[in-house]
Amino acid sequence: MKLEINLVGKIAQHKLVEIEGKRPFLDIHIDIVLPTAGGKEFTHWIRVKVWQEMAEKIAPLLSKGCMVAVSGRPEVHPYSRRDGTPAAELIVHADKIQVLDATEG
């Protein structure tokens, strides 16, 4: 069984990471705005990793504010905040990524 997540959101930041001797990857932070029970909106920040050839191919097409659709495998990454309290981050390892709107917003 494979767990897959599908997201649509705007790019807040992105960076192609190339480390000698390692696979290149694109590190993307997207924001997804969802309504709350009280009728307000809440922004969720999701980190997306795009690997190898797909990363190198899509990186030049991305800009801050562009809308993307992402499908991939979710991973929860635990870490410690600066104050030492535990936290977790959702990372999606993208199998597919599509630019929906390349305009800045």
Per-residue pLDDT of the chain (105 residues; tens, 9 = 90+): 789 999 999 999 999 888 888 888 999 999 998 888 888 998 989 999 999 889 989 999 999 999 999 999 999 999 999 999 999 999 999 999 999 986 654
Q: Which amino acid is at 7?
A: L
Our CA angle for 89, 92, 93, nearest 5°, is: 130
pLDDT at 104: 52
Domains (ranges, CATH) in the chain? 5-101 (2.40.50.140)
Task: List CB contacts of 56: < 8 A, sequence separation 6 or more.
Answer: 16, 24
Question: What are the tokens at 3?
Answer: 């767990």
Q: How distant is the alpha carbon of residue 100 from its chain centre?
A: 15
Residue 2 has what pLDDT? 83
